[in-house]
Chains A and B, each alone.
Chain A
Amino acid sequence: MKIKPLLLNSMIAVAISGAPASAEDQLVIGYAAAVTGSLAPYDSPAGVTCRVEQINEAGGILGKPVKLIIRDTKSDAVTASNVGQELLDQGANVILGPPTDDGLIPIAQLALPKGIPVLSVGATQPAFPVASPENGYLVPFGDNASAAGAAEVAYKAGHRKAILMIANDVGAYSAITPEYFGKAFEKLGGKIVGRVNYHHGLADYNTQVAEIRNNAEKPDMIFAAILVPDAGVLVRTINAAGLDIPVYGTDGFDDPSFIEVAGAGAGLATFVTHGYPSEGSPLKAFYDDCTKRGHNPQNIFFGLGGEAVEVVKAAIESANSFDPPAINAAIKNIENLKGITTGSITYKDRGGVPLKEMTVMHAKDGKVLPVETVRPSWVAAP
């Protein structure tokens, strides 16, 4: 009785992998996605599926249809590495991975012997490519790049003295990104005049605002890699306290709920994000076509999912091969690729973290709209 389920499983395994597509024949994308669980908003099986449908309709890659296999990591690091192995067993020659480094690094280790590249659809932590330099890539920008972008925009706007908001409770994002900002801002000639701690989930930011007000040297801006809804609460509190200090941030602000929570304080915020579906943009076209196909573009990660497939497609077409090491080498050479969320993606000499054109967003009259694009000239080392 104890052995039977195992045998059943082995039989299932044989049945599944009975006829694995040969890696040389066609592109098999294995996507270890956080379909369920807390990380689900930062992965997009629908976005990847839609782009694959589009490509297959247009004749595939190198004349061969693309096969997509999706497995749920359940937002769990161990399950992620397990399904990563499952996807490798099933003959994937490219792996798309979950949004956190604890799931990505083990998958990249498992994929390394065959030289199979692993790309993260949602992760912005540059720690992943640092730990897996041979075959680990981010599809979004790294937090160090978005922070550098924010620094350039802030400096250009005339700000010179910044306070950093630091939180240790949501992964590296809110703790390390402000430090990346600080380095880039100081490099430009700005000064960090203080650091203020907070925790996500605070209903009340008055303590932090008082601390900012009483800072020894008066700041002319604040940087916070803060998530919604806290991002809204923070600017709202600053506004209510009668302080007129602008807040700069990155993609944590990028959610439709920000504007509702922020209220009258929304105008204080400026943030750098992956892209915006403005009229006539490739992202808008992608969203529209996918909506017609019955998919629901839930947030920007939908676009990044499509962009991940786009990066793989470009690499295969330039390598003219489905051989994983050739694809891997070709990704490392991508320069100025026109993406879906952005006009320009470069992997060449970037150590797995792409240099991308980013969109700067600012709230005005109850609407968050893109004001410009930025490509930072200097980015702090991860």
Chain B
Amino acid sequence: MSNFLQSVRGALILGVAVGVIGVLALLFAEPFYQRIVFIFMVNLIAVIGLQVFMGNADITNYGHISFMGIAAYAVAILATPAAIKKTSLATAPFGLGTIEVALPIAILIALALTVLIAFLVGTMLVRQSGTPASIATLALLVIVHVVIMNWVDLTRGPRAIYGIPVKATLGMATICAILAIVAARLFRDSSWGLQLRAASENIAAASAMGVRIKRLRLVAWVVSAAICGVAGILFALFVGTISPKSFYFDLTFLTLAMLVVGGAYSVSGAVLGSIVVTFGFEIMRYLENGPQIVGLKLPTMFGLTGIFLGAIIVLCMILRPRGLVGDDEIDEIWRRRSKNRERSEISANASGAAQ
């Protein structure tokens, strides 16, 4: 029970940090910076979703963005007003071109569909480990993309779906991000998470101890997909226009970079990586536009953000291969440090008393 409370407390530390960012943006930021913070929240949720599977099962996952895409497309096709569908999705099959589903129901259906597809894919995927499993996730990303591109009647193919109700707010995104953090942390510290992490370190020993690896991987995979689905739904309901390109390699590698920079083995790493990359990106974007800083006019340097992302990944690989945070959660690191300090103080006191 105390373990459970510790997990919740650890999650809340991260949750408060994210909440403060959201609230500050809501209170003080201009519309443009509110958009940046909103997209940060969406990416953060996707990174946390990615961490749930990648961090616990230790399988590099390239397929998480496909679940964002499935959920986003599902909610877009269901919730777009029928009047707009008349021009944009008139030929949709199953009568989807004429119906308009209430938003909460559309969201639930989108999530259920994402979970169902994740479950079906997962039953096949969890049989593999290591590189073959990673390649299978990459294949999933490509398959989902190709289906969206070519099922023109349902998805408009390569053309954008527009007119999706713009209903998501920064407050909602912040709350969803905090909930995702709590869910990911509870999963990580649960007995399932612990067994899965043990299996990722030594698969033979873990299965000898009776860990049901495939089943646990499947659970992590589905939870991960559901969290990514939430990110996709928020994305669609915020931007109001989606296209297949939104859910492909660009976002896959951006979110992967965030997780790798922060550290894939902890939720703290996912959060920290998202923050560092997003705000680093924005500072670079500000610099590349050629601003004037204390009287000094900088030249415009479009492309600086791309260099930043590359540089930060390379530096991270060289200096901190397991990410900025490493293997443990931030609160665990703090607790250990304060324990060490106490211990050293006690031993110092003890040696002082002995003299």
Q: With A82-B36, A82-B39 as known contacts, state yes or no: A170 contacts B245, CB within 8 Å.
A: no
Min CB distance B92 to A, Å, is: 16
B240 touches A106 (CB 8 A): yes
Query: What are the interface flags for B250-284 relative to A under an 8 Å C-beta threshold, 1 for contact and 0 otherwise?
Result: 10000000000000000000000001000110110
| A89 proximal to B (CB < 8 A) | yes
- Tell me if B288 is interfacial: C-beta within 8 Å of chain A: yes
Tell me if A156 is interfacial: C-beta within 8 Å of chain B.
Answer: no
Known: A85-B32, A89-B32. A3 touches B21 (CB 8 A): yes
Q: Tell me whether A169 and B158 are in contact in the complex, defined as CB-CB below 8 angstroms, given that A131-B88, A131-B163 are known contacts.
A: yes
Please name the residue on chain A nearest to B286 by beta carbon: A12
Pair A74/B240 contact, Cβ less than 8 Å: no
Min Cβ gap B216→A in Å is 32
> Taking CB as reference atom, which chain A residue is nearest B272?
A2
Cα–Cα, bound, A308→B330 (Å)? 53
Give Cα distance in the complex from A105 to B160, angstroms: 9
User: Known contacts A102-B245, A106-B239; is A125 also within 8 Å of B159 by CB?
Assistant: yes
Residues of B within 8 A of A8 (CB): 283
- Cα distance A264–B62 when bound, in Å? 45
Q: Are A78 and B239 in contact (CB under 8 A)?
A: yes
B157–A168 contact, CB under 8 A?
yes
Contact among B24, B241, B282, B285 with A106 in the assembled complex (CB-CB below 8 Å)? B241
**Interface residue? A186 (CB, 8 A):** no
Give chain B nearest CB distance to A17 CB in angstroms. 7
Are A109's CB and B158's CB within 8 A? no
B128 close to chain A: CB less than 8 A: no
Whether A171 sits at the interface, judged by CB under 8 Å, is yes
Q: Which of B226-242 contact A (CB under 8 A)?
A: 235, 239-242
- A-B contact list, 5 entries, CB within 8 Å: A77-B245, A81-B239, A82-B32, A85-B32, A171-B158
Q: Is the interface of B mostly helix, strand, loop or mixed?
A: helix
Q: How large is the interface on A (under 10, 10 to 19, 20 to 34, 35 or more residues)?
A: 35 or more
Contact with A along B282-297 (1 / 0, CB 8 A): 1101101101000000
Closest residue of B by beta carbon distance from A131 = B162
Bin the interface of chain B by size.
Answer: 35 or more
**Apart from A5-B280, A9-B279, A77-B245, 9 more pairs, CB < 8 Å:** A2-B275, A5-B282, A9-B33, A36-B306, A72-B288, A72-B302, A77-B246, A86-B32, A176-B159
Chain A residue numbers with a CB within 8 Å of B149 are 168-169
The yes or no answer to B31 lying at the interface (CB within 8 A) is yes
A30 to chain B: closest CB distance in Å? 11
CB of A130 within 8 Å of the partner chain: yes
A331 at the interface (CB under 8 A from B): no
Bound-state CA distance A176–B88 (Å) is: 13
CB interface residues, A 81-132, toward B, < 8 Å: 81-82, 85-86, 88-89, 100-102, 105-106, 109, 125, 127, 130-131
Of residues 186 to 241 in B, which have CB atoms within 8 Å of A's CB atoms? Answer: 235, 239-241
Which residues of A are found within 8 Å of B39, using beta-carbon distances? 78, 82
Given contacts A2-B275, A6-B21, contact A77 B305 (CB under 8 A): no
Q: With A3-B21, A85-B31, A85-B35 known to touch, is A9 a contact of B282 (CB < 8 Å)?
A: yes
B20 interface residue (CB < 8 Å to A): yes
CA distance A171 to B305 in the complex (A): 26
Query: Known contacts being A77-B246, A109-B240, A125-B159, is A6 close to B303, with CB within 8 Å?
Result: no
- Closest residue of chain B to A14, judged by CB? B30
Q: Are the C-beta atoms of B32 and A100 separated by less than 8 Å?
A: no
Chain B minimum-CB-distance residue to A16: B291
Q: In the complex the two chains form, what is the Cα distance from A72 to B306 in whole Å?
A: 12
